[in-house]
Amino acid sequence: MESRASTNNVTELIITGLFQDPEVQRVCFVLFLPVYLATILGNGLIIVTVSVSKSLRSPMYFFLGYLSLVEICYSSTVVPKFITDLLVKVKTISLKGCLAQIFFFHFFAVAEILLLVVMAYDRYVAICKPLHYMNIMSRQLCHMLVAGSWLGGFIHSIIQVLNTIQLPFCGPNVIDHYFCDLRPLFKLACKDTFVEGIVVLANSGLISLFSLTILVSSYVIILFSLRNRSAEGRRKALSTCASHITVVILFFGPAIFIYMRPSSTFTGDKLVAVFYTVITPMLNPIIYTLRNAEVKVAMRKLWGKKENSGMGQ
């Protein structure tokens, strides 16, 4: 243990960031700050609307509210530090801070993946077993499924961090990324990390594979069951599913590109990471509200009431 402690003399890490040019970094700051604020406002608006509106009481909106909450938390583990780092010359983070960022980033990412699976199951029950929908998707089951998503994220993250925390860091301390993630951190360890890399790949890979299999299966079954529906019924069901499938593709596409292939130092990897850490969390509320008449009507009612009460005073 003592030799391990003596070699673990790195307490602070330097982050290279997205680009080196100060001018480009300032442009990025001007671009990404409004995107992050839009993420918080957009997802916050959905949470408030779903919580307050009596017309949005179905399990689908219950899950949508939690998805928006996860999006805010997920984005907030990386983006605020990333944006403030764009204005400083030397970007640093403590080793403990780095491990904390890895833990929360993976925690919320996997909670989101599992929530997307839960939402696919909800659509499957709603479309394929409509008469039994409210009995199957009871309030108790909905709460259990959400709790299960959080628990799954927690277990996944604990494994990732326990796998990383015992690595010795004794020399190089420059992370070639704009936030702390497992692969860039592994490159700094003073030992071969092949086994740890396999654990990460198995942990992330199994969850992704399991989730994608359920998601694809759910939508294949839904599409087959829609063949016997009326044109109007088909249109409504497909409209609801289209938002969900879009979000799944936006989330899984970049994540698979990053985690399910050999690591590289390409700037392309960082740009793909920007997409799923900064852009996707902002797009989700837009995708769900633009394609959903009930949410739009509820928002108009909610904010219309507030404006009227404000004018009344």
Q: pLDDT by residue (tens digit) across 10-44?
A: 889 999 998 889 999 999 999 999 999 999 999 99
Q: Identify the residue with better confidence: 103 or 56.
A: 103
Q: Is the pLDDT of residue 2 over 50?
A: no
Percent of the residues in the chain that have a pLDDT greater than 90, as a whole number: 53
Weakest mean pLDDT among 55-59, 94-98, 218-222, 262-266? 262-266
pLDDT single digits (tens) 110-169: 999 999 999 999 999 998 998 999 999 999 999 999 999 999 999 999 999 999 998 999
The average pLDDT across 229-246 equals: 82
Weakest mean pLDDT among 193-197, 275-279, 308-312? 308-312
Q: What tokens were used for 133? A: 């929908």
**3-state DSSP helix/strand/coil percent for the chain, to nearest 5?**
80, 5, 20
Residue 83, amino acid = I
DSSP secondary structure letters along 11-43 = -EEEE--S-S-HHHHHHHHHHHHHHHHHHHHHH
Neighbours of 147 (CB within 10 A): 10
Neighbours of 190 (CB within 10 A): 15
Q: Is the pLDDT of residue 4 over 60?
A: no
Which of 68, 35, 58, 63 has its CA nearest to residue 285?
68
Q: How far is CA 255 from the centre of its chain?
A: 10
